[in-house]
């Protein structure tokens, strides 16, 4: 494959096959190939694996890849599909498949079985460490289309990659885009954009954030004039706000970067969204 593919992860579980379905549709949307990977690794308690045990693991992995390729072909006839068996610790092996990919797609949970590939831990590790965007697919992939892409913006000064991904997805899908900026203020107020806002002044902070968000999005509106854009500043925990948004969006995009003082850490927000989302979540790394 020469074009940057969509890379999908399978462990043989139905959850992972739903992620493969989503990845196949995404590859068609972008007009690029699909690459399916699966890791083979014996459980840690197996210190000196015998040949039959290793053969069983490899056979399970290969059958999982074949089933995933078959499912993708059903969803997207004519799509160029490649399968890639990988070995080693599943989280590391799968995340190592990310370089050169447009995105890495995985389910949120799996069966593990012989591969010792606990998909939830793989998804979390990939979302935290992959060098490309990671999409964690939760729920059914055949649910009603909402015609909305959501994007969560925490650090308004460091979100170019997140917005680029979200706007491109909205443009390809011909959907609306909703940008949300949310925070959960401690009792002594919030430190935001270099200013301390005490509790009585939170409405001032919200107005300030709304103005900054508008200015930020104006430039992207010019780049994507066909994408209808709306925005919302939410006083509440970002993880909860974005998980709620995922129930009415086809995709929610969040960034992976360092935190602002006084705001919930991006890692905690990311984990909350991934654990409680109702649909696909894309995690986009910042340089």
What pLDDT is attached to residue 260? 44
User: What tokens does 50 get?
Assistant: 């015998």
What pLDDT is attached to residue 143? 56
pLDDT tens readout for residues 77-115: 999 999 999 887 888 888 998 889 999 999 987 554 434
CATH code for the domain defined by 148-285: 3.40.50.620
Across the beta sheet with 229-235, what order do the strands follow?
81-87, 34-40, 6-9, 103-107, 134-137, 281-285, 251-256, 148-152, 176-183, 229-235
More confident position, 159 or 144: 159
Q: For 6-137, give the CATH class.
A: alpha beta
CA end-to-end span of the chain, whole Å? 26
Q: How many C-beta atoms lie closer than 10 Å to residue 286's C-beta?
A: 14
More confident position, 178 or 61: 178
- CA 141 – CA 61 distance, rounded (Å): 23
42: pLDDT confidence band, cut at 50, 70 and 90? low
Mean pLDDT score across all residues of the chain: 83
> Does the pLDDT at position 194 exceed 90?
no
DSSP 8-state symbol, 263: S
What pLDDT is attached to residue 91? 86
The SS3 assignment for 109 reads: coil
Domains 6-137 and 148-285 share a fold: yes
242: pLDDT confidence band, cut at 50, 70 and 90? very high
> Does the pLDDT at position 264 exceed 80?
no
What pLDDT is attached to residue 44? 56
Ordered by start, the domain boundaries in the chain are: 6-137, 148-285
Its pTM surpasses 0.75: yes
- Of the candidate ranges 64-78, 94-108, 162-176, the one whose mean pLDDT is the lowest: 94-108
More confident position, 281 or 257: 281
**pLDDT, mean of residues 215-239:** 93
What pLDDT is attached to residue 80? 97
> Does the pLDDT at position 139 exceed 60?
yes
SS (H, E, C) 59-76: HHHHHHHHHHHHHHHHHC
> Does the pLDDT at position 4 exceed 70?
yes
Residues 40/92, Cβ–Cβ less than 8 Å: no
What pLDDT is attached to residue 265? 45
**Bridge partner list, 149:** 177, 251
> Does the pLDDT at position 128 exceed 50?
yes
What pLDDT is attached to residue 270? 87
pLDDT tens readout for residues 243-258: 999 999 999 999 997 4
- CA 179 – CA 10 distance, rounded (Å): 31
Winning range, highest mean pLDDT, from 138-147, 162-171, 241-250:
162-171
What pLDDT is attached to residue 192? 53
**pLDDT, mean of residues 271-287:** 90
């Amino acid at each position: 494959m020469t074009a940057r593919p969509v890379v999908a992860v399978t462990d043989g579980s139905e959850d992972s096959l739903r992620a493969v379905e989503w990845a196949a549709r995404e590859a068609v949307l972008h007009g690029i190939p699909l690459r399916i990977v699966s890791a083979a690794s014996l459980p840690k308690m197996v210190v000196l694996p015998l040949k039959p045990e290793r053969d069983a693991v490899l056979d399970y992995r290969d059958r999982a890849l074949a089933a995933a390729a078959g499912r993708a072909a059903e969803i997207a006839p004519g799509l160029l599909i490649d399968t890639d068996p990988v070995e080693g610790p599943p989280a590391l092996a799968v995340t190592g498949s990310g370089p050169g990919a447009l995105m890495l797609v995985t389910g949120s949970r799996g069966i593990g079985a012989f591969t010792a590939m606990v998909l939830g831990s793989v998804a979390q590790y990939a979302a935290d460490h992959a060098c490309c965007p990671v999409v964690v697919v939760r729920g059914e992939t055949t649910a009603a289309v909402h015609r909305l892409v959501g994007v969560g913006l925490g650090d308004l000064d460091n979100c170019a990659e997140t917005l680029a991904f979200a706007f491109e997805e909205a443009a390809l899908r011909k959907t609306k885009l909703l940008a949300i900026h949310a925070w959960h203020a401690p009792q002594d107020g919030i430190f935001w954009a270099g200013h301390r806002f005490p509790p009585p002044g939170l409405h001032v902070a919200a107005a300030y954030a709304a103005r900054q968000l508008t200015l930020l999005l104006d430039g992207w509106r010019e780049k994507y004039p066909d994408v209808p854009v709306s925005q919302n500043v939410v006083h509440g925990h970002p993880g909860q706000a974005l998980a709620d948004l995922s129930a009415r969006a086809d995709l929610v995009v969040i960034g992976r970067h360092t935190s602002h003082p006084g705001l919930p850490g991006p890692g905690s927000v990311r984990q909350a969204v991934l654990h409680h989302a109702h649909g696909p979540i894309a995690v986009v790394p910042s340089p």
